[in-house]
Amino acid sequence: MTDTTKLKKGTPPQRLKEQEKILEDTRPEEGKNRPLQLMISQEVFQEFSAKAGLEFGFEKGAKSKLFLAIWKFYQSHENN
């Protein structure tokens, strides 16, 4: 068992100034992502997931990549 008789009571040590903002989000603005949710039928979800897997590989983020590709296509053809 550990000898606790040598431990001192009192307040914990003060934080260093560099550590005060340890939880602050320092990512650049373009690195922040926001969720987008929508309700679709099970059939559309399965078809979209399959297409995303075929286009971008069956891995995490494939549906997001497919959505962004669709969005870029839409933006490039929006004014035509």
pTM recorded for the entire structure: 0.59
For residue 19, report the phi and psi dihedrals to the nearest 5 degrees.
-90, -5
* Angle at CA of residue 46, ends 45 and 51, nearest 5°: 100
**Per-residue model confidence as pLDDT tens digits over 13-49:** 666 666 556 566 666 677 678 888 999 999 999 999 9
